[in-house]
Amino acid sequence: MYNNRFSKRRGRPPLFLLFFIAMVLLLSVVVMLLWNAILPSLLHVNNISYTQSIGLLILCRILFGGFRFGSQPGRRFGPSNHLREKWMNMSDEEKAKFKNEWQKRCRPRQQPPSSEDKKEE
């Protein structure tokens, strides 16, 4: 059974590679069409070709790290449960102290009196 499971996966990489290439080519068409439809009239830039849109996608991948499939180890998006777990394990006294400390930190600071206020006195 162990070998059978991995033998089925051997046929998938070419299929995955074809799917990935097809998606990049399709996204390139979408980028090219959106660029040519919106940006020339909005920002007065030139139209781009299909190969330039592929290059733009690659550049965006390098700069912004897109095209992520599945979860990446060590990368988590969204809120962490660390503070929630810490809060649930606190006693009532610790919760009150924690709230008080954050209220002190988040309270708006008082503005120093302006020069106009001094003149009125």
- Please, which residues have CB within 8 angstroms of residue 87's CB and are 6 or more apart in sequence? 95, 98
User: What confidence tens digit (pLDDT) does each residue in 31-84 have?
Assistant: 999 999 999 999 999 999 999 999 998 898 888 875 565 555 555 555 567 778
Report the share of the chain in percent with pLDDT over 90: 31
Q: Are 71 and 60 in contact (CB under 8 A)?
A: no
Question: Is 70 exceeded by the pLDDT of residue 1?
Answer: no
* Pairwise pLDDT comparison (108 vs 71), residue with the higher score: 108
The mean pLDDT value for 12-25 works out to 84
Q: Which of 20, 47, 19, 43 is nearest to 33 (CA)?
A: 47
The mean pLDDT value for 92-113 works out to 81
Question: Is 80 exceeded by the pLDDT of residue 95?
Answer: yes
Q: Which pLDDT does position 50 carry in this prediction? A: 94
What's the chain's average pLDDT?
78
Per-domain residue ranges of the chain: 25-67
Q: Which pLDDT does position 16 carry in this prediction? A: 83
